[in-house]
Amino acid sequence: MLPSIGLLNLCSGGFVLAYFRFIFSIDPLNSFLMQGADGILVPGGFGDRGVQGKILAAKHAREKDVPFLGICLGMQIAVIEFARSVLGLQDANSTEFDPETKNPCVIFMPEGSKTHMGGTMRLGSRRTYFEFADCKSAKLYGGVSFVDERHRHRYEVNPNMTSQLEDAGLSFVGKDETGHRMEIVELPDHPYFIGVQFHPEFKSRPGKPSALFLGLIAAACGQLEAVLQHYDHVSLVVPKKIVMSNGQSTIKAHQNGNATKLSNGLVNGVYSNGNGVHF
């Protein structure tokens, strides 16, 4: 596939010229080609083809502080790589690729059907609640308490392994309404390492790119701080975890998503009216 070039408006620091290169994850030159990358995006996918190369890409990004965005399978890959390299669980895997793994950090969603594939995916618009106001993704989305993004998957991060992963430094900063389904993962000490279970590309448009793509490009050209500061004037009103008297913790959801109109006409830069109906 030929490389392509894009002109992007970063809001803060004017325009940047971005050069995109598609690397096949099964390409033996994969690691070599990644060396010069300023940013890496691992997209969604099904089946185990190219998974090893995708794991190498996530590892390279994590270890070399290269801005990284993992989408759906790309997020699952980032979790697998982290479990293997940081937790030392060599056989950590998704049960999609290794049903017998002793360390299933990505598992089949309990409500899915293993026998009927058609229409059994978790599809369509679902709500993600931010756990922390100061994580990069919450800031990029403009300080909302939730975002509605579109989904297309059968597997998810194993909720029984999240505390182990979090103790080692991975942060699950976005979750569904139950708090058991991981939607956004970040590495807080990394310049830009974000994985999302949803597909931001489904609602991204040339003139209105998803906040996460904007963040990736900004980070890749050293402009992330400037872009985040641009959003800083929008009050960050994401509630912190509220510890309830019964010892359970929860987050309070604001039904309107704390929407604030930005000067560019977007509602916090997010395509959502906060009630699950999308434009």
Ligand X SMILES: NC(=O)CC[C@H](N)C(=O)O
User: Using an 8 Å Cβ cutoff, are 199 and 152 in contact?
Assistant: yes
Residue placing its CB nearer to ligand X in the complex, 61 or 80: 80
**Which residue in the set 25, 39, 42, 44 belongs to the binding site for ligand X (CB under 6 A)?**
44
**Cα atoms found within 13 Å of the Cα of residue 220, Cβ hemisphere only:** 22
| Count of residues that interact with ligand X, criterion CB under 6 A | 10
Contact between 198 and ligand X by CB under 6 A: the answer reads no
Of 25-33, 40-48, 224-232, 255-263, which segment contacts ligand X by CB under 6 A? 40-48
What pairing do the DSSP bridges indicate for beta strands 171-175 and 182-186?
Answer: antiparallel
**Buried (b) or exposed (e) across 83-107, using 16+ Cβ within 10 A?**
bbbebebeebbbebbbeebebbbbb
Contact between 149 and ligand X by CB under 6 A: the answer reads no
**In the complex, least distance from residue 29 CB atom to ligand X, rounded to whole angstroms:** 24
What's 244's DSSP letter?
Answer: P
Find the helix or strand (DSSP H, E) in which 58 lies: helix 51-63
Find the helix or strand (DSSP H, E) in which 38 lies: none
Contact between 80 and ligand X by CB under 6 A: the answer reads no
**Contact set for ligand X, span 150-179 (CB under 6 A):** 152-155
User: Using an 8 Å Cβ cutoff, are 182 and 162 in contact?
Assistant: yes
Residue placing its CB nearer to ligand X in the complex, 96 or 131: 96
Of 14-22, 42-50, 51-59, 168-176, which segment contacts ligand X by CB under 6 A? 42-50
Q: Return the SS3 of 70.
A: strand
User: Using an 8 Å Cβ cutoff, are 225 and 99 in contact?
Assistant: no
**Contact set for ligand X, span 83-102 (CB under 6 A):** 96
Angle at 232 between CA 231 and CA 236, to 5 degrees: 100
Contact between 126 and ligand X by CB under 6 A: the answer reads no
Q: Catalytic residue among 60, 153, 199, 230, which?
A: 199
Of 12-20, 147-155, 163-171, 266-274, which segment contacts ligand X by CB under 6 A? 147-155
Active site residue 11: no
Active site residue 230: no
**In the complex, least distance from residue 155 CB atom to ligand X, rounded to whole angstroms:** 3
Q: Rounded distance, CA 96 to CA 271, Å?
A: 31
Residue with tokens 């991060």: 157
Q: Catalytic residue among 72, 135, 149, 156, which?
A: 72
**Which residue in the set 45, 179, 191, 239 belongs to the binding site for ligand X (CB under 6 A)?**
45
Active site residue 199: yes
Binding residues vs ligand X (CB under 6 A): 44-46, 72-73, 96, 152-155
Catalytic residue set: 72, 199, 201
